[in-house]
Amino acid sequence: MTSEPDVAYVWIWLPGALEPVVCGRLDDRDGRITFGYATSYLDRADAVAIYEPELALRPGAQRSLSGNRLPLSIDDAMPDSWGRRLVNHRLGRLMAELGELTYLLHSGSDRIGALDFQERSDTYVARSADHPTLDDLATAVARLQSGEELDQQLTDALIRGTSIGGARPKALLDDSGRQLIAKFSSTTDHYPVVQAEYVAMELARRAGLDVAPVDIVEVGGKHTLLVERFDRGPRGVRHRMVSALTVLGYNTFPDGRYATYADLADEIRERFVEPRVTLRELFARISFNILCSNTDDHGRNHAAFVREDGLALTPAYDICPQARTGTEADQAMAYGPGGERNSNVWSLHAVAHHYGLDRQEARELIEAQIAGVNENWAEVCDVAALPRIERGRLLGNQFLNPSSLAT
């Protein structure tokens, strides 16, 4: 059995650049992972920090401020459970838990943000640069979920998308110059998750939220959600990004549960560009998450661009209604400074001042979102091809659940 790597070179796309440069190295010494900038990178006049304050632009070994094995801003580029499953499949280590550097070096190079990881510092070789069709991707996902063997071509078709986060099956797709994330149905779905997410994302857009553009298509008799990537610019320029979890200084396990919207609002006031506009946008996203039962709104499902003048909230993504088994529910992150997290828009309304909104302004925003769901429901469900019976199950359960509206 081949031993796992103890070194990985970090490459970065500088602002506006079309090609990456090596910026540093990760070293794993008996489970203690450190990062150090390359001297050649520090000597560059255009060098930028990966993310400050965690990995400041200075010489010497640096570790995560959280104590996590990987620096948080690099952990953001790590494949999540779906990506790890694909890497394990490709390496023939189906039940193994591999090391962090192995997952970084064997996942696709077209990862979220502006980083990639290589075995060498002098040569950059992109992994899985082919552009498979949506039909190929759907076939590969279906076979993998059913436990069938994948040939090398189908494996390569999926491996490109291993570096995007999340637990659900997904892949990367190029469509006439648009770079998309394709999100597929899962064999474990108990309701039309893909269609419900399309409905939520489109209703959020119509409510005035800054949302990643989405389409829905049918492939092989199943629906697939296509989400336009916002971390890419013209000609393949890559934008630096970090998760809200990283902004708050938490790793996913075990500390991610301490991340809150209230603390994120404080960070927005201190470190984000256009804080007043951003706070209102954040409040509107929390409100809409409550109205559509997106209780999976944890810190990795929010992100910020890393810009020269500060942080900026990315468009919303992963607005996915969750199954409701009872009347009461809680958001993944507390929105109130006192720990309030109940999935109720009027409980959120009571702490609107923390997001810079007065009570009247917050009420008008919430009521406009409720009205928008009702007014646009039929039209958006038609586009999603949701059957009547499923519409009836979603409206009043996930969408506009009575407990979410109770005063």
- pLDDT at residue 161, as a whole number: 64
**What residue segments make up the domains of the chain, in order of their start?**
7-118, 134-228, 239-405
Three-state SS for the chain is: CCCCCCEEEEEECCCCCCCCEEEEEEEEECCEEEEEECHHHHCCCCCCCCECCCECCCCCCECCCCCCCCCHHHHCCCCCHHHHHHHHHHHCCCCCCCCHHHHHHHCCCCCCCCEEEECCCCCCCCCCCCCCCHHHHHHHHHHHHCCCCCCHHHHHHHHHHHHCCCCCCEEEEEECCEEEEEEECCCCCCCCHHHHHHHHHHHHHHCCCCECCEEEEEECCEEEEEEECCCECHHHCECCEEEHHHHHCCCCCCHHHHCCHHHHHHHHHHHECCHHHHHHHHHHHHHHHHHCCCCCCCHHHCEEEEECCEEEECCECCCCCCCCCCCCCECCCCCCCCCCCECCHHHHHCCHHHHCCCHHHHHHHHHHHHHHHHHHHHHHHHHCCCCHHHHHHHECCCECCHHHHCC
pLDDT tens for the chain, 407 residues: list them: 457 899 999 999 999 999 999 999 999 988 789 999 999 999 999 999 999 999 999 999 999 877 767 999 999 999 888 788 888 888 888 777 899 999 999 998 998 999 999 999 999 999 865 677 888 888 888 888 877 777 666 677 677 666 676 678 888 888 877 899 999 988 888 899 999 999 999 999 999 999 999 999 999 889 999 999 999 998 889 999 999 999 999 987 778 889 999 999 999 999 999 999 999 999 999 999 999 999 999 999 999 999 999 999 999 999 999 998 778 999 999 999 999 999 999 999 999 999 999 999 999 999 999 999 999 999 999 999 999 999 999 999 999 999 999 99
Judging by DSSP bridges, how do beta strands 21-29 and 310-313 pair with one another?
unpaired
- pLDDT at residue 1, as a whole number: 42
User: Residue 164's closest CA among 237, 85, 217, 267?
Assistant: 85
Integer CA distances (angstroms), 172 to 46, 97, 111, 158, in order: 30, 24, 9, 8
Note whether 110 and 126 are within 8 A (CB).
yes
Q: Which tokens is 5 given?
A: 């790597």
Exposure string of 230-251, with b = 16+ CB inside 10 Å and e = fewer, is bbbeeeeebbbbbbbbbbbbbb
User: Residue 90's closest CA among 112, 110, 107?
Assistant: 107
In a 13 Å sphere around the CA of 213, the CA atoms on its Cβ side amount to: 7
Overall CATH class of domain 134-228: alpha beta
Q: Does domain 239-405 have CATH number 1.10.1070?
A: yes
- pLDDT at residue 235, as a whole number: 86
Helical axes 359-383 vs 275-291, angle rounded to 10° = 60
> How far apart are alpha carbons 348 and 188 in whole angstroms?
32
- pLDDT at residue 139, as a whole number: 84
> How far apart are alpha carbons 5 and 22 in whole angstroms?
18
- pLDDT at residue 186, as a whole number: 85
Q: Which tokens is 267 given?
A: 């960070």
For CA atoms 62, 66, 69, 75, give the dihedral sign. negative
Integer CA distances (angstroms), 389 to 29, 65, 118, 385, 393, in order: 56, 50, 50, 12, 6
